[in-house]
Chain A
C-alpha cells in the first residue's frame, strides 16, 4: 500500500504553503520530514491525511483520498496533532478510547472489549495508564501529549503521521518513544485491505531523534522538497546548512552537555 502525492499545492488564503510537491511514501517506510518553521511540514501532513483541500492529487492504496469517506481514511491513517484541548473535561481514558471510533461498528458508538483492550495497551505503551481517570486539564503538557499519542496509537492504523511527537516530552519519554516507534515500524497492521506493513511519517525538530527513527529523510524549504533520500545520505553538514540557513553541524559539534 502506497501513499502518493502528485503535483500537490496547498494554500491558506493567498499564502501558498506547498508548491508542486511530488512524493511517494512506500509501505513500511520510516520518513522524517524536516525543515524550518513555516516550511510546510504540518501542511504536508494534513494534505497527506486528506484533512486539507489541495490542488493536485493524493492517493492511498490507489484511491483518491478526497473521494474517500473520512471513516475509511481514518482506518488507514492516524495523525497526531501538535496540541489537543477541549473545553469539556474528558478523562484520559475516555480520550484515548475515542481514537477507536473509526473502527467501531456500533450504531450508538459503544466500544467493545477489543476497543477497551486496544486503548489500555496504547496507554501503557505511552506510560499514561496510571493517569487514566485524570481529567485532561489535570495533566501536564507532556502527559497530555502522551495521551494524544496513545489515542493516535489506539486508532490502530498502518500509517502513523506524527507532528512533533516529542516536543513536550522529557528526555526519558523521548528516548522511549523513539524505541517504540522503531519497534512498531517493524510490525504489521491488519486493515480492510489485508495486512499492511507499518509506516511512520514524522516531523521532528530534534535531528538525533529523527535519525534514530527514520531511514528516509525529506527536507522542505519554502513549501518545496529540496532533499529526499536515505537519512544517512541526506543529513550532511552541507544539506543541513542549506535547509536551515544556519551552520547546524558546527552548532551541534560545539554543544556541550556532559563533559
Chain B
C-alpha cells in the first residue's frame, strides 16, 4: 500500500505543477500581448517611459520631464483604454460562450445563441438610422440602446421558452433564440431599406470596433466582468454537473431550472455589455473556451477564468492586427477574429492529440 502511495502522490503533485505552470505561462503571454498591443503603432514608446506614464497616473504624481507629454496623451488616453477595452470585451464574450456551451450542453452554442447580438443591432439601428436620442445619455446612447435591446431579446426568449415548455428544455431555448434572432434581424433589415443612406454607419457598428474607447468604457466593462465572473465561479460546480444532462444533474442535487436561468442571464449580461461597447464580434466566444478546455480540461472552475484570459488576449491581438496591418486604414475587428481565428481554431481542434495537460 505505502510504496504504491508514494509515486501516486508524486504524480498528483506533478500534475498540479503542470497546471500551475500552464496558468503562469498563459498569464505571462497575456501580459506580453497587452503590452505589445499598447506599444505597437505609428508612435514608438519605450517600456520604461510607458511604466512612468502609468505610474504618474496611478499615483497622481506629475509626469517626469523626460517623458514627452504627447506620448502621454497617445498612450494613456488612446492606446491603453483601447487595448484594455478589447481585452475585457474578449474576456467577457469568451466566458459567456463557455457558460452557454455548458448550460445548453451544446459545443456550438455561443454568447449570441439567444439573440443578444440581433437585439443589440436593432437597438443600434434605432439610434443610428432613426436618430433617436435621449439627451441625458449623450455619448452613451448607442451602447445603452444596444445593451437594453440585447438583454430585452434574451428576456423575451427565456420568457417565451418557459411559457411554451415548462421544463425550459435546451432544444426549446435554442429554437426560440434562433427564431427570435431571425425575426429581430428582419425588422432591422426592413429599417435599413428605409434609411439606406445611413446604413453604412450601422454596418460599421455591427462589424465591431474598439477605436476611440476611453477609461469610462474600461471601468464599466471591468465592473460588470468582475461581478459576472464571481457569480459564474459560484455556479461552476453546478455547470460541471449540468454537462452530464439535466436528469442526472437534478438527481445529484442541482436545481436545474434556477441554475440555467441564472447562468444564461449572467452570461447574457456579459455579452450585452460587450456588444454595447464594441459591436458584434463573433468567433472568439466560440473558439476560446474550446481551446481552454483542450489545455486545462473541462472543469469550469478553471475554464471560466482561463477563457477570460485567453479570449481577452486573443481579442487584444486581433484589435492590434485590425489597426496596424492595413494602417492607416482600419479593418473591422469582427473580420479579423474570423479570418485569423477560423483557420487557427480548425488547426487546434482537428490536429492530433487531445488536451496536453
Residue ranges of A at the interface with B (Cβ–Cβ < 8 Å): 46, 49, 51, 69-75, 77-79, 81, 84-91, 94-95, 98-99, 101-102, 104, 107-110, 135, 151, 155
Q: Which residue of A lies closest to B298 (CB)?
A: A88
Q: Assuming A87-B107, A108-B237, what are 12 further A-B pairs, CB within 8 angstroms?
A: A49-B251, A51-B251, A86-B105, A98-B240, A101-B237, A101-B252, A102-B253, A104-B237, A107-B234, A108-B233, A109-B237, A109-B301
Q: Which of A70, A95, A109 contacts B250 (CB 8 A)?
A: A70
Q: How far is the CA of A198 from the CA of B247 in the complex (A)?
A: 23
Interface check B17, CB cutoff 8 A? no
> Interface readout for B202-243 with A: 1 if CB under 8 Å, 0 if not?
000000000000000000000000000000011011101101
Please give the distance in Å from A92's CB to the nearest CB on chain B.
Answer: 12
Q: Which of A71, A88, A89 contacts B253 (CB 8 A)?
A: A71
Tell me which residues across on chain B come within 8 A of A109, comparing CB atoms: 234, 236-238, 240, 301
A90 engages B297 (CB within 8 Å): yes
Q: Which residue of B lies closest to A45 (CB)?
A: B251
Please give the distance in Å from A93's CB to the nearest CB on chain B.
Answer: 10
A87 engages B105 (CB within 8 Å): yes
Contact A73/B247 with A86-B105, A87-B107, A88-B102 known, Cβ cut-off 8 Å = no
Q: List 22 A-B contacts (CB under 8 A).
A: A49-B251, A51-B251, A70-B254, A71-B255, A77-B251, A84-B248, A87-B107, A87-B243, A88-B243, A88-B298, A90-B240, A90-B243, A94-B299, A98-B241, A101-B237, A101-B238, A101-B254, A107-B234, A108-B237, A109-B234, A109-B237, A155-B252
Give the top 3 A-B pairs by smallest Cβ distance, nearest first.
A109-B237, A74-B253, A102-B253
Tell me which residues across on chain B come within 8 A of A77, comparing CB atoms: 251
Q: Which residue of A lies closest to B247 (CB)?
A: A51
Contact A70/B253 with A84-B248, A86-B243, A86-B244 known, Cβ cut-off 8 Å = yes
Tell me which residues across on chain A come within 8 A of B236, comparing CB atoms: 108-109
Q: How far is the CA of A49 from the CA of B247 in the complex (A)?
A: 11
Interface check B200, CB cutoff 8 A? no
Q: Which residue of A lies closest to B236 (CB)?
A: A109
Which of B243, B245, B248 counts the most chain A CB atoms within 10 A? B248
Tell me which residues across on chain A come within 8 A of B354, comparing CB atoms: 89, 135
A102 engages B252 (CB within 8 Å): yes
Q: How far is the CA of A200 from the CA of B75 in the complex (A)?
A: 68
Which B residues from 296 to 331 make CB contacts under 8 A with A?
297-299, 301
Interface check B293, CB cutoff 8 A? yes
B251 engages A74 (CB within 8 Å): yes
Which of B106, B107, B244 counts the most chain A CB atoms within 10 A? B244
Please give the distance in Å from A2's CB to the nearest CB on chain B.
Answer: 20
Tell me which residues across on chain A come within 8 A of B256, comparing CB atoms: 70
B251 engages A78 (CB within 8 Å): yes
Tell me which residues across on chain B come within 8 A of A151, comparing CB atoms: 252
B237 engages A98 (CB within 8 Å): yes
Q: Which residue of A lies closest to B299 (CB)?
A: A94
Q: How large is the interface on B (under 10, 10 to 19, 20 to 34, 35 or more residues)?
A: 20 to 34
Which B residues from 148 to 188 make CB contacts under 8 A with A?
none
Which of B250, B293, B299 counts the most chain A CB atoms within 10 A? B250
Tell me which residues across on chain A come within 8 A of B251, comparing CB atoms: 49, 51, 74, 77-79, 81
B248 engages A81 (CB within 8 Å): yes
Residue ranges of B at the interface with A (Cβ–Cβ < 8 Å): 102, 105-107, 233-234, 236-238, 240-241, 243-245, 247-248, 250-256, 293, 297-299, 301, 354-355
Q: How far is the CA of A81 from the CA of B354 in the complex (A)?
A: 28
Tell me which residues across on chain B come within 8 A of A94, comparing CB atoms: 240, 297-299
Q: Which residue of B lies closest to A109 (CB)?
A: B237
Q: Which of A73, A75, A79, A101 contacts B241 (CB 8 A)?
A: A101
Q: How far is the CA of A88 from the CA of B293 in the complex (A)?
A: 8
A101 engages B253 (CB within 8 Å): yes
Contact A108/B301 with A88-B102, A99-B252 known, Cβ cut-off 8 Å = yes
A70 engages B255 (CB within 8 Å): yes
Q: How far is the CA of A89 from the CA of B240 in the complex (A)?
A: 11
Q: How far is the CA of A98 from the CA of B253 in the complex (A)?
A: 10
Q: How far is the CA of A54 from the CA of B36 in the complex (A)?
A: 61
Q: Which of B234, B245, B254, B297 contacts A89 (CB 8 A)?
A: B297
Please give the distance in Å from A196's CB to the nearest CB on chain B.
Answer: 17
Q: How far is the CA of A49 from the CA of B240 in the complex (A)?
A: 21
Tell me which residues across on chain B come within 8 A of A102, comparing CB atoms: 252-253
Contact A89/B233 with A69-B255, A70-B255, A98-B240 known, Cβ cut-off 8 Å = no
Tell me which residues across on chain B come within 8 A of A86, comparing CB atoms: 105, 243-245
Q: How far is the CA of A91 from the CA of B253 in the complex (A)?
A: 20
Tell me which residues across on chain A come within 8 A of B248, comparing CB atoms: 81, 84
Tell me which residues across on chain B come within 8 A of A85, comparing CB atoms: 244-245
Q: How far is the CA of A51 from the CA of B251 in the complex (A)?
A: 7
Contact A90/B247 with A70-B253, A101-B253, A108-B236 known, Cβ cut-off 8 Å = no
Tell me which residues across on chain B come within 8 A of A108, comparing CB atoms: 233-234, 236-237, 301
Which of A74, A95, A104 counts the most chain B CB atoms within 10 A? A74
Tell me which residues across on chain A come within 8 A of B105, comparing CB atoms: 86-87
Q: How far is the CA of A87 from the CA of B101 in the complex (A)?
A: 10
Tell me which residues across on chain A come within 8 A of B299, comparing CB atoms: 90, 94
Contact A90/B252 with A98-B240, A107-B234, A108-B236 known, Cβ cut-off 8 Å = no
Q: How far is the CA of A101 from the CA of B237 in the complex (A)?
A: 7
Q: How far is the CA of A94 from the CA of B302 in the complex (A)?
A: 13
Please give the distance in Å from A173's CB to the nearest CB on chain B.
Answer: 21
Q: Which residue of B lies closest to A151 (CB)?
A: B252
Please give the distance in Å from A232's CB to the nearest CB on chain B.
Answer: 31
Tell me which residues across on chain A come within 8 A of B253, comparing CB atoms: 70-75, 101-102
